[in-house]
Amino acid sequence: MKRLIPALALMALAAACGTGMQAAGEDAAASLDYCHGQVCRSLAQLRGDSAIDYTMMPRNMLETDTVWNCRKAVKEEWCAGFWPGVLWYDYEHTRDDSIRAEAERFTESLEFLSQTPAFDHDLGFLVFCSYGNGYRLTHNPRYKEVILATADTLASLYNPTAGTILSWPRNIEMLGGHNTIMDNMINLEMLFWAAKNGGSHRLYDIAQKHAETTMLNQFRPDYSCYHVAVYDTITGKLDHCQNHQGLADGSMWARGQAWAIYGYTMVYRETNNKKFLDFAQKVADVYLARLPEDMIPYWDFDDPTIPGAPRDASAACVVASALIELSGYVDQAKGESYLADARKMLATLAGDDYRCGASKPAFLRHSVGNMPANYEIDASIIYADYYYIEALTRLKRLGKGEPVTEYYAKYN
């Protein structure tokens, strides 16, 4: 199957898979119904006996918790955009106006991010997961204004000498220079979108250059990635690469590799440059080759305590979502393989081992936040839930013969 444009390719894949994709869409819809029930339970919990504080965002629940640990939506809290994003995806599935109203209230509490200097690179996570999904579903012109302003703010962290966006300004001294982390690949989507929706073309150029520089410097010969690349602040030359949240500098940290798979799939969609498609496949294939049978990675593929090491459901959710999209950009045989792998991941996550069910109102258990810091180990974490509901939404759309994201229709 030749790739023409993303929407047509993905719909052609769905047609080739026939009734199997229809069944997958029905399975996805049933899982989305489960998510809706958990969303309603979460909202009831957040409301309690009084009104909801829309500046407090669900962040995590440890394995023994039954109540969301919430964080104030401040610029230092990088996860604050995921809960509004979950609500927007739930609204997309249910068309429940009460869910939309809650999504709007939580989203609008983040407007301040478009009006303050950049604290770090996470503005894409914060604003595009919230305002981006909100604009996609409502076309509220104010949401577009917030996204465009925030994209300009994110671009202020770009260092043209290094060719990347500075991820952690607060860690320049600790890490030894201009630092770029793999997570930053996801935040490029907001820059691409802004450049195509009224913003400066410079935002597109920054995003593409960042992806190219990261591709050149932040991967090992086997296409596994380092979490962090550090560049000389003055000359822009690469100084060193290291792991920050992985086991060791030479190990493959599962969520870091997941960000790479998702990021380069998205960059190919936005640029239509085949070098990014080839690279997305390479970083996906090394990850897939090392997965355990149930398709859920250990937090780091090189942890010597495997099989006793913790799993990371959040990485599985990110990759499942990415593979559903990537499946439409490659030849039919490989596309079907990627799609089958994504469905296996989602099937495992739908089982009793990973679903929270009645025990707590999150979607999933068994994610790992930061193992070296001993933080969020074996927890329910909001970004796992976000990418889980996104993956299910994409699978549902594909089962209906639709592009996996509505942005394709705009871009093509």
Each residue of 116-164: pLDDT tens digit? 999 999 999 999 999 999 999 999 999 999 999 999 999 999 999 999 9
In the set 27, 90, 120, 183, the catalytic residue is: 183
**How far is the C-alpha of 259 from the C-alpha of 198, rounded, in Å?**
27
pLDDT (0 to 100) of residue 2: 34
Q: Which residue has the higher pLDDT, 5 or 50?
A: 50
For residue 188, is it within any domain?
no
Please identify which of the residues 122, 300, 303, 341 carries the catalytic annotation. 122
Is position 116 within any domain?
no
The whole domain housing 384 covers 1-52+254-412
Q: Element (H or E) spanning 346, and its range?
A: helix 332-349
Output the six-digit token pair for 237.
């030359």
Q: What is the pLDDT of residues 295-330, one digit of tens each?
A: 999 999 999 999 999 999 999 999 999 999 999 999
Among 12-26, 28-42, 60-74, 238-252, whose mean pLDDT is lowest? 12-26
Per-residue pLDDT band for 267 (boundaries 50, 70, 90) equals very high
Q: How many CA within 13 A on the CB side of residue 232? A: 6
Using CB atoms within 10 Å of the CB of residue 294, give its burial: 0 to 12 exposed, 13 to 18 middle, 19+ buried: middle
Euclidean distance between CA atoms 223 and 242, whole angstroms:
15
Q: Mark whether 183 is an active-site residue.
A: yes
Q: Which helix (H) or strand (E) holds 222?
A: none
Instruction: Please give the pLDDT value at position 411.
Output: 46
Q: Which two tokens stand for residue 98?
A: 């009460």
Q: How many structural domains does the chain have?
A: 1
Q: Say whether pLDDT at 19 is over 90.
A: no
Query: How far apart, in whole angstroms, are the C-alpha atoms of residue 66 and residue 53?
Result: 19
Q: Residue holding tokens 């997305």?
A: 280
The rounded percent of the chain whose pLDDT value lies above 70 is 92
What is the distance between the alpha carbons of residues 55 and 210, in angstroms, rounded to a whole number? 32
The answer to the question of residue 353 being in a domain is yes
Q: Give the domain CATH number at 280.
A: 1.50.10.10
Does residue 402 form part of some domain? yes
Of 85, 100, 7, 89, nearest to 400 (Cα)?
7
Q: Which residue has the tokens 């394709």?
A: 408
Residue 168, domain member (yes or no): no
The residues pairing with 57 across neighbouring beta strands, listed in sequence order, are 71
Query: Does residue 183 fall inside a structural domain?
Result: no
In a domain, 333, yes or no: yes
271 lies in some domain: yes
Q: Average pLDDT, whole number, for the chain?
A: 93
**Is 385 tagged catalytic?**
no
Contact between 378 and 384 under an 8 Å Cβ cutoff? The reply is no
Q: What is the pTM of this model?
A: 0.94
